Amino acid sequence: MERHNKRYGKITGWGIYTPPKVVTNFDMEKNWDTTNEWIVQRTGIQQRRFASEEETTAFMATQAALNALEKADVQASEIDLIIVGTCLAEDFTPSVACIVQSAIGAKNIPAFDISAGCSGFVYSLSTAYQFLSTGLYQRILVIGAENLTRFFERSDRTFAVLFGDGAGAIVLEQTDQPCGLQGFTLGADGSGQDDIRLNTSSGLNRFDAGHLVQFNGREVFKFASRILGKACDQALAQSNLSLDDVDWIIPHQANIRIIQSAAKNMGVPIGKFYINIDQYGNTSSASIPLALFEGLESGRIKPTDTVLMVAFGAGLTWGACVVQLAPVLNPQLHPAQHSWA
Ligand SMILES: CC(C)(COP(=O)(O)OP(=O)(O)OC[C@H]1O[C@@H](n2cnc3c(N)ncnc32)[C@H](O)[C@@H]1OP(=O)(O)O)[C@@H](O)C(=O)NCCC(=O)NCCS
């Protein structure tokens, strides 16, 4: 149905924060019964970042947000809404988003977290676009931030080698020029809840909590390899676009073999996937904004590109969204532009 007063959303700023502490696979060998060779071959990871005690989820989210605001040349006081995708922050409450709001100096605007495992950023971005397209909010901060490595003291090698810490943020601004979200899909299958569980019920001090990590990596691997292509197909169908219309697929960076397997199933050259898992490991909700930032800053992703972001994670959850980063010159060529506006 044709709607009036179409509103579009453009990503005008992007920023990240990654802890300075780099932990290589050789460093991991010192504390776990693992090898660089195993980690590289089975996951594609070479190194990751470990947050210090001061580098909380909210701290990293705040730094990423400030960088994104600077890039967008937007003041914190101009932001209408803050959404943070995060698995589990240091506090049950307040939300990371509320801490970020205060830290950046925004006042009285709504702020909330979205918990969707590693799909947190795609869930948050898709949600942000809904508020934007209705015209309710004009400038939204969307953040993915995670600090998972603090659980490693109690986790086994299978889990510990996979993850890293970091945060990425974007500023989304309303525009009347056609661009932004073309289509998306979100999903969850709670019957897979036991495949990844970070169980904090046994103690308030999470560092002392027993039986913290429950993880069935093989099941998640199979699920992820299957759902990645399916979610991409659904988001493209919603957009009335095909893979040929997409310049980059930015997948959640969980395991290079998951991405390779999905690429093969989808019949897409691996070079179309933006991959940086070797540098950061799996940073959960932060992985897609980290990759987007890196791609844009390096010039590999062009400001006019169309990107397909796709994620999966604990829950089990998944999500994919097609985003046209800048207005196209001839909107007639992209009739689906209007369906989400
Ligand atoms: C976890 C994961 C890397 C394991 O890879 P895999 O190829 O499935 O490996 P397996 O679990 O079959 O284990 C193979 C062997 O390696 C061993 N192994 C597991 N972790 C190891 C490590 N860090 N170092 C060395 N050996 C390891 C296992 O004990 C097993 O040994 P065995 O054959 O003697 O029993 C892979 O399943 C995965 O990436 N899963 C999804 C990741 C995920 O869930 N991310 C979070 C949500 S996005």
- With a 6 Å cutoff on the Cβ, whether 157 touches ligand 1 is yes
CB of 86 closer than 6 angstroms to any ligand 1 atom: no
Q: Interhelix angle for 287-298 vs 120-133, to 10°? A: 80
Question: Which two tokens mark 337?
Answer: 């532009």
Is residue 252 situated within a structural domain?
Answer: yes
Q: Tell whether 88 and 234 lie within a shared domain.
A: no
Residue 2 lies in a domain: no
Asked if 68 and 150 sit in the same domain, the reply is yes
210 inside domain: yes
Q: 206 and 130 in one domain? A: no
Give a yes or no: residue 294 inside a domain: yes
Measured from the CB, is residue 222 less than 6 Å from ligand 1?
no
For a ligand 1 pocket test, name from 158, 220, 228 the mutation site with the most ligand atoms within 8 angstroms of its C-beta: 158
Specify which residues 319 forms β-bridges with.
Answer: 186, 311
Local structure of residue 33 (DSSP, 8 states):
S
Asked if 178 and 338 count as a contact pair (C-beta separation under 8 A), the reply is yes
Residue 37 placed within a domain: yes
Are 164 and 31 part of one and the same domain? yes
Domains in the chain: how many in total? 2
Same-domain status, 130 and 203:
no
- The protein residue whose alpha carbon is closest to atom 25 in ligand 1 is 34
The verdict on residue 292 lying in a domain is: yes
1, part of any domain: no
Last residue of a domain, one of 134, 157, 175: 175
In sequence order, what DSSP letters do the residues of 197-252 get, joined into one string? EE--TT-SSTTT-SS-EEE-HHHHHHHHHHHHHHHHHHHHHHHT--GGG-SEEEE-
Chain length of the chain = 341
Q: Are residues 303 and 158 part of one domain?
A: no
Does residue 192 have its Cβ closer than 6 Å to ligand 1?
A: no
- Residue at which a domain ends, from 158, 175, 192: 175
pTM for this entry: 0.93
Buried-state track 187-218, b at ≥16 Cβ within 10 A, e below 16? bbeeebeebbebeeeeeeebeebeebbebebe
Query: Are 143 and 215 members of one domain?
Result: no
Q: Which numbered atom of ligand 1 lies nearest the CA of 252?
A: 48
Q: Does residue 51 line the site of ligand 1, with CB under 6 A?
A: no
pLDDT per residue of the chain (341 residues) written in tens, 0 to 9 = 344 466 899 999 999 999 999 999 999 999 899 999 999 999 999 999 999 999 999 999 999 999 999 999 999 999 999 999 999 888 889 999 999 999 999 999 999 999 999 999 999 999 999 999 989 999 999 999 999 888 776 678 888 899 999 999 999 999 988 899 999 999 999 999 999 988 776 544 444 444 577 888 899 999 999 999 999 999 999 999 999 999 999 999 999 999 999 999 999 999 999 999 999 999 999 999 999 999 999 999 999 999 999 999 999 999 999 999 988 655 454 444 433 33
Q: How far is the CA of 162 from the centre of ligand 1 (A)?
A: 9
Domain hosting residue 110, numbered range: 8-175
* Ramachandran angles phi, psi of 118, nearest 5°: -75, -5
Shared domain for 105 and 203, answered yes or no, is: no
Same domain, 259 and 151: no
On whether both 168 and 194 belong to a single domain, the answer is: no
**Which of 124, 154, 175 marks a domain boundary?**
175
In 10 A of CB 32, how many CB atoms?
17
Active site residues: 118, 252, 282
CA distance 303 to 325: 6
152 with 235, same domain? Answer: no
| 3-class SS of residue 143 | strand
Q: Is 108 left (phi over 0), alpha (psi -120 to 50) or beta?
A: left
With a 6 A CB cut-off, is 284 part of the ligand 1 pocket? Answer: no
Contact between residue 250 and residue 268 where contact means Cβ atoms under 8 Å apart:
no
For residue 284, give the ligand 1 atom closest to its CA: 48
Check: CB of residue 258 under 8 Å from CB of residue 162: no
Question: What's the gap in Å between 4 CA and the centre of ligand 1?
Answer: 52
Instruction: Please indicate, yes or no, whether residues 135 and 194 belong to a single structural domain of this protein.
Output: no
Nearest residue (CA) to ligand 1, atom 31: 158
- Domain at 69, CATH number: 3.40.47.10
Residue having the nearest C-alpha atom to atom 21 of ligand 1: 158
